[in-house]
Chains A and B, each alone.
Chain A
Amino acid sequence: METLSVSKKVIPITNYQIPKKIQIENLNLKIGKKHILKDISVSVPKNKITVILGPSGCGKTTLLKSMNRLTDMYPDMEVTGKICIDDEDILHSGTDVTNIRKRMGLLSQRPYPLPMSIYKNIAYGLKISGRRKKRFLEKRIRHYLIQASLWDEVKDRLREPASSLSIGQQQRLCLARGLAVDPDIILADEPTSALDPISSQEIEKKFLELKNGYTIVMVTHVLRQAARIADYVIFMYLGEVIEQGPAYEFFNNPKTEITRAYLRGSIN
């Protein structure tokens, strides 16, 4: 159990004292007759790393994508319930969905750079927000590439296609691209699953740095990774939330039998 001990957090964070960023109430999601998410009610604390844990196929990714309303892309999906971000219900509000999405950066399992140059990948989001001045763009692009610790590697080849980067670099580019639209939330769907150990570490390190300015929600099925970086854990199993709470309590004092079985490694 040595790897699972949460060494850095000496003081256990108690759930109720922290301001909440995302609050989900009674979220249900169905595709036809399949019930993918069953009555989900969770809250995500502000400026912390929240990890959604669970065996594969339990609806983690779907939950993450519904926060971003990417579920709109699939007309078969039927979503009911409430997802509040800063007390605004994004499922039912009249706000333009693009404005909702702009507040959240997304990192997916594999990096998906847009089919354009490195420079344009980052300028893409800025241009959508109406920022088109060249000097401004260049400054911002440099800033975000530095923030994603990619600047030194790519500063001389900004005009090359993004697909020429290594996969680890691509994932950091996707991070920079996401940061460039100035979100306050980062959604990450197993962002390190396609990466080598060193690139994975870099992403994890980045997340720990970024959590002061951003609320990070990350899906993973790697227990050790969750233990390394999570402040708060949501544990899902078969479309339901089994347990949620501060990471310290989750790992050291699990409340349900399923969680204990999962932590032992007998569910996967």
Chain B
Amino acid sequence: MKGIILSRKIKNKLNATWMTIWTVFIFFIPLLLTAGLILKSSILLKDHSFFNLVTSSIWKPLSGEFGFLPFIISSLLVTVLALLIAGPVCLLSAIHLTQYANRYILQIMQPVIDILAGLPSVIYGVWGIIIIVPFISEKIAPLFGIQTSGYTIISGALVLSVMIIPFILNILLDIFNAIPKELQEASLSLGASQWYTIKFVLIKKAFPGVVSAMGLGLSRAFGETIAVLMVVGNVASIPKGIFQPGYPLPALIANNYGEMLSIPLYDSALMLAALFLLILVIAFNLISRLLIIRYEKRFA
């Protein structure tokens, strides 16, 4: 009997130990990632100034010139455009679903959002090539008198906006559902109409949450690789308009990494691009999530 109890206790102790080890290991993943990327990109930073790398637009890796500006601008253009398209759609739909929609629409929308969130990036890319690219080159660009193949910044932004819709919408739904019903009841009982309540109370209350949802959406969009890569054109020069091809940072890494390892500087440059991505995404995430937490504390 004593032996059984003892072995149970030992088992318990052992389990606790290796679980602690795993947990600590997970704590270290982001640090490891950052440290590794810094180590790798330091080779390039040794004889190129960071400022020059970020402001130069000449990308000639074989002759040792690494200007990241075209990629940074493409990335920013694509993500900001995507957010401008997806943001209002998500906000409107979230208010609709939490305030006005009847049960039937909710029952349809829940699996729709689930499936959209689950579809792989590459499927969105295929859809982009089948639908968006011809749509841009045949319908939209001619409206502005522009001839294009359709593989453009705007195509990337459109595909990306569809991809982040389920992501942002899910967060917004949580935020609007978390607002107590009694607050709305208070406003309604003062004689406000439902719309007045939404406009002056609900949106005001949800505002910090909405901002963070958009921030999270932006950071999600920023790191998206394959789908954008498939429709955005991938030309390494600064895009002069939204109907021009672009070359975002993730696409740069995906397209070139693995083949160029024989050139240490090139390898290092791509790692620097990955480091950019990592830092920007973590920074955006951090700010948005801290905002949400602070907001929840204030209104809890």
Contacts and interface: CB of A to CB of B under 8 A. Distances in A.
Interface of A: 65, 68, 70, 73, 75-76, 98-99, 101-102, 104-106, 108-110, 112, 114-116, 124-125, 128-129, 163, 174, 177-178, 180-181, 187
- The winner among B183, B186, B200 for most chain A CB atoms within 10 A is B186
Given A115-B201, A163-B298, A128 B190 contact: yes
Contacts of B103: 75-76
Contact of A128 (B180, B184, B192): B192
A174 B186 contact: yes
Contact of B204 (A99, A112, A115): A115
Nearest to A124: B190
Instruction: Name the prevailing secondary structure of the B interface residues.
Output: helix
Given A114-B201, A163-B298, A73 B188 contact: yes
A70 B190 contact: no
A255 B277 CA distance: 75
A105 B190 CA distance: 7
Interface in B149-208: 180-193, 196, 200-201, 204-205
Contacts of B183: 112, 114
Pairs A-B, 9 closest by C-beta atoms:
A102-B191, A106-B189, A125-B190, A115-B205, A112-B183, A112-B186, A112-B182, A98-B191, A108-B182
19 contacts: A70-B185, A73-B184, A99-B191, A101-B189, A101-B191, A102-B190, A106-B189, A108-B182, A108-B185, A109-B182, A112-B180, A112-B182, A112-B185, A112-B186, A115-B201, A125-B192, A128-B190, A128-B196, A181-B191
Given A75-B103, A128-B196, A163-B298, A114 B186 contact: yes
Given A76-B103, A112-B180, A115-B204, A98 B185 contact: no
A101 B186 contact: no
A181 B299 CA distance: 26
A104 B189 contact: yes
A124 B189 contact: no
A105 B191 CA distance: 9
Contacts of B185: 65, 70, 73, 106, 108, 112
B49 interface: no
B275 to A, nearest CB: 40
By size class, the interface of chain B is 20 to 34
Contacts of A187: 189
Contacts of B182: 108-110, 112
B191 A106 contact: no
Nearest to B192: A128
A75 B102 contact: yes
Contacts of B188: 70, 73, 98, 101
B191 A128 contact: yes
A177 B181 contact: no
Contacts of B201: 114-115
A18 to B, nearest CB: 25
A70 B189 contact: yes
Contacts of A73: 181, 184-185, 188
A129 B201 CA distance: 17
Nearest to B101: A75
A115 B179 CA distance: 11
A116 B190 contact: no
Contacts of B181: 73
A3 B191 CA distance: 39
Contacts of B200: 124
Contacts of A177: 186, 190
Given A110-B182, A112-B182, A114-B183, A129 B205 contact: no
Nearest to A76: B103
